[in-house]
Structures are given as structure tokens and as C-alpha cells.
């Protein structure tokens, strides 16, 4: 019980050596002197206390060195007497002493509440992270590591480095700096002393003092010209090294659940249960791909012995995750191709010829190639499962129309599903126009008249019989919808154009031969499966303007054949894209006005508001009013947002298309597919909020004609990162490159449909790791060749994994 006493003696002696400059300890002697008084509860009569009480207001610090000398000598004398024998409570904190109640035999499914030392609060917080059992603990992997493996002496510490030291606590006590409460300590080893401060943890002192020799790890900073550590990780040196002196795991966590708790829990779970984790990969695969065995990988991913071990462990776990996905994707593709029951659909040459000749343009080479590939697939009795990938404006719609015509000509129904009502309605009219053009010479008379009713009957000259195109969206009136559904079920409708409404339960087709999904990135695997189920074995064509990086083509879209439209219709110069600083806003408005004066039209896109469609709509209304009243009082403005009814949207789009509006103010709803060739400039507010691929989609809205088009990117955010991203938009016109860039910068987010793809959240693997994805793809193909149903004993573990992963989309597998 004389530790504090002895420590203070050391300090005072050092103070003598330093010639009473009060720099022997960080922060000066006063706090330490006071602490001794309270720590030992020194009575007022104690000599030590009397010396202190004789000091002036600000204490020792205020004294002249000569006075200090005397005081120090007095204090040393007082200390030479035996310290009062007071019992200091030395209870250890339980966090560090957590002990599992359950020793063997235990099971991986043991609930975490059995781990001793875990409070109920912790248990419920763990549950919030999805951690309920020992297995969950083992599979809750760190998302990063602090590299504290550099252990050195205090004299070797360097500012800015992450380092570890082993030292004694010399002093420790609560303090306040300004208004911030903290614990301040001075620690020392043979080479020197160091100030350490833990912000916001004023009650740490006692634990520190009673913990013996400490290991501390953290970043070295400077305080008043001297080195210090702030909020370092620490633990007693004789304890397991979980928090210091190594690569220290940092786990995804939640408020109020300290890393220390997670680390201790992981260590306990590993000691007890890691060896019970069975290797789900067949041994041959493990050795062929040089993978770490599962129990070792679990150990090393939590507490790696080295960086190499950590990487090997993560590779093993990522391999397992990706292989599971690939098994599902490859299997799904095989199952799909085994069904030789799809209706072969053929487009008679005369019909194709008639259709092509009726078009107001000549198909591009890419469109013709895509048509050939698709028609070849459709002619088989194996269901087509193809992705048509083409940049915005590359002309996917007419390719879809050709395929749908093949279905109709073969006596089957075709359906096309779009992500928004606006787009469904546009497709509806486009088909009406494309398929009717031969009869009327111009579809324009019909263009808008068909709306309002749920269907239109066309008689293209190249078809023997009339063709009924039906629109099915959520906003049809009940009567119209029933009528549409009846026509679809009775087989009277040849082509059905719709939104999600198409895949609702109450919709059933009489003979669906082909389903097309437009803007696939807005849908998920589940919707694809649902559309497929509307027919016996229909062919499926999915279309997207989002270029699919190779990694995603192998995973999320791994069961599809891919056709790329790599050619734009002729005579469309690339869009000129410019960043606009906030102070150049008026110039941008003026530029829009010039374009309008020249007969063109413009879009203004409002910033993305995440909260809700309603909030976004309100923001758009405000922007619309501001522009109408203050910026363009003399121009004709329109407003488009997601909360408008479809007839309102339609009226606006129609007016815009007919050049009755000069400027269309819109939320992101205009992003997909809208087609108004006379619009040549798009001004995007809050451009930093959008992803690159999405900005490219917007830009595609104005690349629709031979006029030079412009895209202006406005942002208040001047950060270099944002500017760099937008600079990429200025320089790169290739949607493919932008998508790769997006994937690199933002990771595979919602934009690529990964979130809705039915894929699990990957814990270790990254969807950007092409090499590993390719490796697992090949492994999956080989495994399924040798053992198509994964029935062999050594493959059962994998079969289980795959089943767990794919059960939620089994509808598609079976």
C-alpha cells in the first residue's frame, strides 16, 4: 500500500534533479501532491498535509525555485515517515476478467449470455449486431486492424506513429482540461516518462494504478512540445495481448459496446470453440487453392500473428463466400438450360423485313447483331436468359420490340416491365408508334390518344392479324385494371407493358413466351424470377444501361448471357460536361436561356433528397417556384416529381415533348429512359449527391439528337474528393468506364442492384476482386461437373452452405 507514497518520492527526487523547474512530471507537481492527500486520507495533523496547506493559492507552481527547494525537502521528510496504513480497494474491473462460465463441453450454438462477465446490456447490444451464439461471435469478423505490432521504449516514440510501449503507471488521476473530463497519467519505463490522457474517461485512474505493468498502444501525439498518447488502448502486460502490441482487430460495433468487450469475447469463443468449426471446403480444394484450414483461418482473422497470416486467413474466408455464390449462380444457369421446354419463338423473315422497313431510322450494326443473337436464342426450346447491355440512348427499346414481335408472330404473349410508371407509359406509346407506323405513316396522331385507355389495337401491315398492346400499371382505375387482367388471362393481349404491377399475384398470362425487363438495375433477382413464373418456361431478356463490371457479371448477373450494344445511333455528338461553381450559377442559368432562345429545351434536376419521395417532391416544388418567379419568369416551366399522379406527370411530359415547355424541373424520376430529343441541356443541382453512373444516366437524357448537348454539374461541395469525381464526368463519356470508377470509389452499392440481388452481405470478400471471383467461378464449374448435386460426402459442407445462401431465392433454382 505504499505505491503512491513511493511514486511521489520518486517524483520529488526527480524535481530536485531538475533544479525545481516543476517539469519533472507532466502537468506539474501540484495535482500529484493533492492526490496523495485524498488517496491516503491524510489527517489535517499530518505533516505532509500541513506543508501543502501552507502553500499559496496556486500551489507549488507559484513558488520561486528557492522556495520550492525548501518545500520539496519538507515534503520528502514527511514522506520518509511511514505512510498511514489505509486499505485501498483494489477491485479489478470485470471487463478484463470476463471468464466463460461454460468450459467444455460446449457447442457452437451456445448463447453468448453464457459468457461470464457479459452484462445484459452487452448481450442485447450484441444481439442487435446479429450475434447470438458462439458461432456468431466467431463469424463476426473485424473490418479492419490497428497495427500496434511495433513495440518500443518511451524514448523511441515518434510523433504520428502508431506504437506500443510497456511501462509502469507513475501517477494517474482524474483531471479536467477546459471543460473536458479526462484521466491523466504519467507512465514511465527505463528510458523516460510519458503523459497519457484518456478523454471522457475520468474514472480510469484507480484501475490503471492497480493494474501493474501496462502495455499501451496508440498514436503518439504532441502536447506542449512533448510527446504523449491520447486514448491509447491498454491492458495489463501479463494479460493476453488482445488490445495492444499486435495487429489489433477492430470490429463492426454499435454505440456502447466497446471494442475491448468484443475482443475478449472473440478470444474466449476462439479458445473454446474454434476447433469445432468444421471445414466446409473439401480437402482437395483446400490444398489445390492453397487455403488455410478453417479453424486456423478463424483464429488468424481475429488475432493474426502477422499481416501475411491475416491476409491468408481473409483469402480463405473470402474464397468460401465467393465459391458459395458461384455454386448458386452456375447451378441456376445449368438448371435453367436443362429445361428443354421453352416455346421456340420465330420471327418470319417477311415480318422482320416489314418491321425494319417501317422504322423511321436504320438499325445500327450493334442493334442488328443483338437482334440476331436474341432471335437465335428465342428459336431454341431452351429458355433464353440474356442481358442486353447498352449505354443510355443506344437504342435498346427497338431491340426489345423486335423480340416481342417474334413472340407475337409465334402466337405467344410478350411482356415488358419497366421500373416507373412514366417509363412504362412511354414504352407503351413507343410500341404503339413503332408497331403502328407502317399503317398510319406516322404514329404521332396516336401517340397520346392511346393513353387514358388501358390498351390499343394496332394493325401493322406485316402482321396477319391485329395486335393488342395493353398497359398495366398500379395507377390504372380498378375497372381498367380488371379489364386489362382479363384480356391478359384470356390471351387477347399480345404485348403487355407495365410496372411491378405485372408480377402481382392476380396477373396471369395465357401463354407468356417472352418477358423483358427494362432497366434491370432497378429490379432484383426476385423480380426476374417472378416474371419468369408468369409463364411456363418463358424466355427472358433483361436490359440495362448500367454497364456491368466483369466482377458483377460473374456474380450478381452470373447466370446470364450478355450482349452489348456498343454503338450509338449515328450523328449524336458526345455531351459536353462542365462543373459549375456556386458563384457561376447565374451564368449557368443564362446558358440555359440561350439554348431555349435557340429553340432547344432544358432539364433542371433537383438535388437528391434521401428521406422520402414526399420530401424530394416538396424540394422540387420549391425549386420550381423559385425558378419560375425569380430566374425564368418569362419562360415556360414544368414540374415533375414522384408524388404526382400519372396523369399529371403525363400532361407535363407530353407538354415538354411537344415543346410547350422550355424547362422541365424534375427530381431523379426523370433519370431512366425518358426520351425527348429536342432537350439539349441538363443542369444537375447537388451533383455530388449522385453516383457517376447515375449522372451518366441523366446526361443520356440530352444525348438524343444531332444537336450539341450540354450537361452542367452544380455543387456547393468544393472538397477535392467531390471535385475529382466530377472531373471524371467531364473527361469520361464511356458509361462502362464510369461504372468501374463508381465501383472503385463507392463500392458495389445499390446502384448496381447488388443490394436487391439476393446476394448476402459479404463479410470478407469484395465484389471488386476480379481474380478471386474468377478463381472461385472456375472452381464452382469444376465441382459441379464432377458432382452436379454436391452429394459426395466431401462436398456436403459446401452443399449446406449453398443451400443456406440460396434458400431465399430457391424459387429460381428449382
- Write the DSSP symbol of residue 412: -
Measured from the CB atom, the residue of 335 and 564 that comes closer to ligand ADP is 564
Cβ pair 477, 503 in contact under 8 A: no
364 makes contact, choosing from Mg ion, ligand ADP, none, with CB < 5 to 8 Å by partner type, with ligand ADP
Cβ count near 138 (within 10 Å): 24
Q: Is 473 exposed, middle or buried (0-12, 13-18, 19+ CB in 10 A)?
A: buried
* Nearest distance, CB of residue 563 and ligand ADP, angstroms: 13
Measured from the CB atom, the residue of 569 and 642 that comes closer to ligand ADP is 569
395 makes contact, choosing from Mg ion, ligand ADP, none, with CB < 5 to 8 Å by partner type, with ligand ADP
* Nearest distance, CB of residue 560 and ligand ADP, angstroms: 17
758 makes contact, choosing from Mg ion, ligand ADP, none, with CB < 5 to 8 Å by partner type, with none
666 makes contact, choosing from Mg ion, ligand ADP, none, with CB < 5 to 8 Å by partner type, with none
Cβ pair 649, 426 in contact under 8 A: no
218 makes contact, choosing from Mg ion, ligand ADP, none, with CB < 5 to 8 Å by partner type, with none
Conformation bin of residue 45: beta by default, left when phi > 0, alpha when psi is -120 to 50: alpha
Measured from the CB atom, the residue of 303 and 523 that comes closer to Mg ion is 523
Binding positions for Mg ion, 538-597, rule CB under 5 A: none
* Nearest distance, CB of residue 452 and ligand ADP, angstroms: 23
- Write the DSSP symbol of residue 42: -
* Nearest distance, CB of residue 430 and ligand ADP, angstroms: 7
* Nearest distance, CB of residue 624 and ligand ADP, angstroms: 26
What is the rounded CA–CA span in Å between residue 186 and residue 171? 5
* Nearest distance, CB of residue 423 and ligand ADP, angstroms: 9
Measured from the CB atom, the residue of 441 and 747 that comes closer to ligand ADP is 441
Measured from the CB atom, the residue of 211 and 367 that comes closer to ligand ADP is 367
Indicate the residue whose CB is closest to ligand ADP: 395
Smallest CA-to-CA distance from 197 within 240, 226, 237 is with 226
How far, in Å, are 15, 416, 471, 490, 705 from residue 486 at the CA level? Answer: 97, 18, 12, 6, 40
What are the strands, taking DSSP E only, across 370-450? Answer: 385-390, 413-417
Measured from the CB atom, the residue of 564 and 621 that comes closer to ligand ADP is 564
Measured from the CB atom, the residue of 4 and 673 that comes closer to Mg ion is 673
Which residues here bind ligand ADP, judged by CB under 6 A?
A: 361-364, 367, 390, 392-398, 545, 569, 673, 675, 677, 704
Measured from the CB atom, the residue of 42 and 398 that comes closer to ligand ADP is 398
Measured from the CB atom, the residue of 513 and 673 that comes closer to Mg ion is 673
* Nearest distance, CB of residue 496 and Mg ion, angstroms: 17
Q: What is the CA radius of gyration of the chain?
A: 36
718 makes contact, choosing from Mg ion, ligand ADP, none, with CB < 5 to 8 Å by partner type, with none
What phi and psi values does residue 63 have, to the nearest 5 degrees? -75, 155
Binding positions for Mg ion, 667-686, rule CB under 5 A: 673
Relative to beta strand 180-189, strand 192-199 is: antiparallel
Nine-digit cell string for 476: 390504372
363 makes contact, choosing from ligand ADP, Mg ion, none, with CB < 5 to 8 Å by partner type, with ligand ADP
1 makes contact, choosing from Mg ion, ligand ADP, none, with CB < 5 to 8 Å by partner type, with none
Indicate the residue whose CB is closest to Mg ion: 673
Is residue 735 a contact residue for Mg ion (CB under 5 A)? no
* Nearest distance, CB of residue 391 and Mg ion, angstroms: 10
Decide: helix, strand or coil at residue 370.
helix
Torsion (CA) 587, 592, 598, 599 in degrees, nearest 10:
-170
What are the strands, taking DSSP E only, across 290-428? Answer: 385-390, 413-417
Is residue 390 a contact residue for Mg ion (CB under 5 A)? no
Angle between helices 770-786 and 307-338 (to 10 degrees): 50
Decide: helix, strand or coil at residue 766.
coil
Cβ pair 697, 392 in contact under 8 A: yes
Measured from the CB atom, the residue of 83 and 393 that comes closer to ligand ADP is 393
Is residue 395 a contact residue for Mg ion (CB under 5 A)? no
What is the rounded CA–CA span in Å between residue 619 and residue 606? 8
Residue 306 pairs with which residues in a beta bridge?
none
458 makes contact, choosing from ligand ADP, Mg ion, none, with CB < 5 to 8 Å by partner type, with none
Q: What angle do CA 299, 305, 310 make, to 5 degrees?
A: 65
549 makes contact, choosing from Mg ion, ligand ADP, none, with CB < 5 to 8 Å by partner type, with none
Is residue 438 a contact residue for Mg ion (CB under 5 A)? no
* Nearest distance, CB of residue 565 and ligand ADP, angstroms: 7
What is the rounded CA–CA span in Å between residue 176 and residue 764? 42
Chain residues that interact with Mg ion, rule: CB under 5 A: 673
Amino acid at each position: 500500500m505504499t505505491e503512491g507514497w513511493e511514486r511521489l518520492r520518486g517524483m520529488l527526487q526527480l524535481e530536485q534533479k531538475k533544479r525545481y523547474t516543476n517539469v519533472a512530471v507532466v502537468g506539474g507537481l501540484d495535482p500529484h501532491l493533492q492526490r496523495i492527500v485524498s488517496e491516503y486520507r491524510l489527517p489535517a495533523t499530518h505533516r505532509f498535509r500541513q506543508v501543502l496547506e501552507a502553500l499559496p493559492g496556486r500551489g507549488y507552481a507559484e513558488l520561486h525555485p528557492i522556495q520550492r527547494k525548501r518545500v520539496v525537502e519538507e515534503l520528502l521528510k514527511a514522506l520518509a515517515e511511514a505512510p498511514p496504513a489505509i486499505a485501498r480497494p483494489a477491485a479489478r474491473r470485470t471487463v478484463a476478467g470476463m471468464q466463460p462460465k461454460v468450459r467444455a463441453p460446449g457447442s457452437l450454438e451456445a448463447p453468448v449470455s453464457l459468457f461470464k462477465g457479459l452484462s445484459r446490456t452487452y448481450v442485447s447490444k450484441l444481439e442487435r449486431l446479429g450475434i447470438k451464439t458462439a458461432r456468431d461471435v466467431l463469424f463476426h469478423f473485424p473490418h479492419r486492424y490497428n497495427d500496434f505490432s511495433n513495440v518500443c521504449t518511451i524514448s523511441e516514440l515518434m510523433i504520428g506513429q502508431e506504437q506500443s510501449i510497456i511501462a509502469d503507471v507513475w501517477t494517474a488521476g482524474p483531471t479536467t482540461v477546459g471543460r473536458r473530463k479526462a484521466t491523466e497519467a504519467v507512465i514511465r519505463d527505463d528510458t523516460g516518462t510519458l503523459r497519457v490522457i484518456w478523454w471522457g474517461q475520468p474514472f480510469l485512474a484507480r484501475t490503471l494504478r492497480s493494474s501493474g505493468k501496462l502495455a499501451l498502444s496508440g498514436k503518439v501525439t504532441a502536447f506542449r512540445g512533448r510527446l504523449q498518447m491520447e486514448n491509447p488502448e491498454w491492458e495489463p502486460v501479463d494479460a493476453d495481448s488482445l488490445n495492444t502490441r499486435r495487429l489489433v482487430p477492430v470490429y463492426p460495433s454499435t454505440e456502447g459496446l466497446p471494442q475491448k468487450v468484443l475482443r475478449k469475447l472473440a478470444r474466449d469463443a476462439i479458445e473454446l470453440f474454434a476447433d469445432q468449426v468444421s471445414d466446409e471446403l473439401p480437402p482437395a480444394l483446400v490444398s489445390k487453392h492453397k487455403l488455410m484450414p478453417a479453424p486456423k483461418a478463424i483464429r488468424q482473422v481475429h488475432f493474426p500473428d502477422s499481416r501475411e497470416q491475416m491476409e491468408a486467413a481473409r483469402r480463405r474466408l473470402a474464397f468460401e463466400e465467393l465459391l458459395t455464390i458461384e455454386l448458386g449462380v452456375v447451378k441456376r444457369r445449368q438448371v435453367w438450360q436443362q429445361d428443354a421446354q421453352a416455346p421456340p419463338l420465330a420471327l418470319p423473315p417477311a415480318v422482320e423485313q416489314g418491321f425494319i422497313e417501317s422504322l423511321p431510322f436504320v438499325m445500327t450494326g450493334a442493334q442488328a447483331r443483338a437482334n440476331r443473337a436474341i432471335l437465335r436464342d428465342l428459336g431454341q426450346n431452351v429458355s433464353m436468359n440474356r442481358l442486353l447491355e447498352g449505354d443510355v440512348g443506344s437504342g435498346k427499346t427497338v431491340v426489345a420490340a423486335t423480340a416481342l414481335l417474334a413472340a407475337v408472330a409465334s402466337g405467344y404473349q410478350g411482356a415488358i416491365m419497366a421500373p416507373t410508371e412514366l417509363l412504362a407509359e412511354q414504352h407503351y406509346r413507343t410500341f404503339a408508334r413503332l408497331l403502328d407506323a407502317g399503317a398510319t405513316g406516322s404514329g404521332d396522331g396516336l401517340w397520346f390518344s392511346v393513353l387514358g385507355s388501358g390498351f390499343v389495337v394496332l394493325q401493322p401491315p406485316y402482321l396477319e392479324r391485329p395486335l393488342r398492346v395493353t398497359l398495366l400499371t398500379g395507377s390504372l382505375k380498378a375497372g381498367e385494371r380488371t379489364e386489362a387482367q382479363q384480356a391478359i388471362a384470356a390471351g387477347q393481349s399480345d404485348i403487355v407493358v407495365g410496372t411491378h404491377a405485372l408480377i402481382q399475384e392476380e396477373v396471369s398470362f395465357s401463354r407468356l413466351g417472352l418477358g423483358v425487363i427494362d432497366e434491370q438495375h432497378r429490379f432484383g433477382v426476385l423480380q426476374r424470377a417472378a416474371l419468369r413464373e408468369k409463364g411456363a418456361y418463358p424466355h427472358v431478356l433483361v436490359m440495362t444501361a448500367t454497364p456491368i463490371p466483369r466482377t458483377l457479371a460473374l456474380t450478381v448477373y452470373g447466370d446470364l448471357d450478355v450482349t452489348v450494344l456498343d454503338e450509338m445511333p449515328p450523328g449524336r455528338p458526345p455531351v459536353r460536361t462542365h462543373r459549375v461553381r456556386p458563384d457561376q450559377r447565374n451564368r449557368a442559368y443564362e446558358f440555359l436561356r440561350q439554348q431555349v432562345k435557340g429553340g432547344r429545351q432544358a432539364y433542371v434536376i433537383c438535388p437528391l433528397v434521401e428521406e422520402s419521395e414526399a420530401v424530394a417532391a416538396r424540394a422540387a416544388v420549391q425549386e420550381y417556384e423559385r425558378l419560375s418567379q425569380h430566374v425564368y419568369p418569362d419562360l415556360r416551366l414544368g414540374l415533375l416529381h414522384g408524388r404526382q399522379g400519372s396523369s399529371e406527370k403525363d400532361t407535363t411530359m407530353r407538354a415538354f415533348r411537344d415543346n410547350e415547355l422550355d424547362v422541365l424541373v424534375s427530381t431523379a424520376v426523370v433519370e431512366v429512359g425518358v426520351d425527348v430529343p429536342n432537350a439539349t441541356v441538363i443542369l444537375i443541382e447537388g451533383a455530388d449527391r449522385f453516383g457517376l453512373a447515375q449522372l451518366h444516366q441523366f446526361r443520356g437524357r440530352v444525348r438524343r439528337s444531332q444537336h450539341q448537348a450540354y450537361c452542367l454539374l452544380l455543387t456547393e461541395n468544393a472538397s477535392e474528393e467531390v471535385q475529382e469525381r466530377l472531373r471524371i464526368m467531364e473527361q469520361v463519356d464511356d458509361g462502362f468506364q464510369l461504372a468501374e470508377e463508381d465501383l472503385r470509389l463507392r463500392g458495389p452499392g445499390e446502384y448496381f442492384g447488388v443490394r436487391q440481388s439476393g446476394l448476402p452481405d459479404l463479410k470478407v470478400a469484395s465484389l471488386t476482386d476480379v481474380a478471386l471471383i474468377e478463381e472461385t467461378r472456375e472452381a464452382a464449374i469444376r465441382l459441379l461437373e464432377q458432382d452436379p448435386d454436391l452429394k459426395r460426402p466431401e462436398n456436403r459442407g459446401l452443399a449446406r452452405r449453398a443451400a443456406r445462401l440460396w434458400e431465399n431465392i430457391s424459387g429460381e433454382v428449382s
